[in-house]
């Protein structure tokens, strides 16, 4: 079959960016190409737009994986990218597609006026915090826990499970069913959400190092150990998990209401693909 003479014009890397994990949190073989953590980024194609408008693919994470693989030639397996790097690349793809800002609609907590603020996406890329060392905590019993971010596949699976439980809760709010049955379902939802939280905590522990120097990486052993820990230890681990997942692009922004001049900080500005590319 003849080589398409247009092939070299289909993928043009518009910008270059370095992954948040910075080579500090290693990837297994087959996730990244020869450039490692330095990635050229192409603009979205018409096919990418269709993918991002497919609800099922957005819900299970496939849309984001396929678009990243199409727009970032150095990414071979986007499912196994760490979620911090995925967020960075989503913003980079938007910038490569000549979209420099991201609008945020918020209500002023002082006067309740609704306002719209713009975030400069190039600035977010330039100021993103990179991993400088492997995140870890030392427990009083001598164990050292080393952490990693969730992969996109893991994150998407947790998001699907959470969505399913949220849908059950919405159903129960309006469902005309027996009170005992409603209590039973609410109890199941609570248990499922507790298990989801536990699984997420276990997912970010890369290894546990004993005082003797033994390294435990097997998930079944780590999860068994987790299940026997106190609330205090789980709280420490959860706080470290939240810290790890915050590294990268800034999720906060200082704003001022143009109605009453009230100033405050918006937190939790994650980049939801279902709205980010509208």
Helix, strand, coil shares, percent, the chain, to 5: 45, 20, 35
Which one, of 127, 82, 121, lies nearest residue 104 by Cα?
121
β-partners of residue 138 are 144
pLDDT value at residue 276: 53
- Residue 239 or residue 181, greater confidence: 239
Mean per-residue pLDDT, 14-19: 96
Q: What is the pLDDT of residue 4?
A: 65
Confidence of residue 176 (pLDDT cuts 50, 70, 90): confident
Going by pLDDT thresholds of 50, 70 and 90, the confidence category of residue 269 is confident
pLDDT of residue 145: 98
Paired tokens of 92: 């980079």
Res. 214 pLDDT band, cuts 50 70 90: very high
Task: Tell me the pTM.
Answer: 0.88
Q: Per residue in 81-97, pLDDT tens?
A: 999 999 999 999 999 99
Give yes or no for a contact between 222 and 216, defined as CB atoms under 8 angstroms apart.
Answer: yes
Average pLDDT estimate for 159-172: 86
**Euclidean distance between CA atoms 157 and 7, whole angstroms:** 35
* Banded pLDDT at 56 (limits 50, 70, 90): confident
Model confidence pLDDT, tens digit, residues 116-159 = 999 999 999 999 999 999 999 999 999 999 999 999 999 999 98
pLDDT score of 8 more than 80: no
pLDDT at 102: 85
Is 277's pLDDT higher than 60? no
At 115, give phi and psi (nearest 5°): -140, 165
Bridge partners (DSSP) of residue 147 are: 205
Spell out the domain ranges in the chain: 7-130+249-276, 136-246
- Of residues 159 and 41, more confidently modeled: 41
CA distance 80 to 157: 12
Mean pLDDT of the chain: 90
């Amino acid at each position: 079959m003849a080589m398409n003479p247009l092939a070299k014009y289909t993928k043009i890397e518009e910008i270059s960016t370095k992954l948040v994990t910075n080579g500090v949190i290693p990837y297994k073989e087959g996730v990244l190409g020869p450039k490692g953590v330095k990635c050229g980024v192409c603009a979205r194609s018409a096919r990418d737009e269709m993918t991002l408008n497919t609800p099922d693919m957005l819900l299970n994470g496939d849309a984001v994986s396929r678009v990243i693989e199409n727009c970032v030639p150095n990414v071979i397996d986007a499912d196994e990218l760490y979620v911090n790097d995925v967020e960075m690349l989503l913003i980079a793809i938007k910038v490569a597609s000549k979209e420099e800002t991201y609008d945020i609609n918020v209500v002023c907590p002082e006067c309740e006026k609704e306002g719209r603020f713009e975030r400069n996406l190039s600035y977010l890329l330039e100021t993103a915090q990179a991993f400088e060392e492997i995140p870890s905590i030392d427990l009083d019993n001598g164990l050292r826990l080393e952490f990693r971010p969730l992969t996109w596949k893991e994150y998407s699976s947790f998001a699907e499970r959470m969505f399913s439980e949220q849908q059950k809760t919405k159903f129960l709010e309006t469902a005309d069913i027996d009170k005992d049955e409603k209590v039973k379902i609410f109890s199941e939802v609570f248990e499922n959400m507790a298990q989801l939280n536990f699984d997420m905590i276990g997912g970010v522990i890369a290894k546990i190092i004993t005082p003797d120097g033994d390294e435990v990486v097997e998930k079944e052993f780590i999860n068994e150990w987790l299940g026997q820990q106190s609330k205090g230890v789980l709280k420490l681990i959860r706080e470290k998990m939240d810290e790890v997942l915050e590294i990268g692009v800034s999720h906060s922004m200082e704003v001022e209401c143009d109605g009453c001049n009230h100033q405050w900080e918006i937190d939790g500005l994650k980049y939801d693909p279902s709205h980010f590319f509208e």
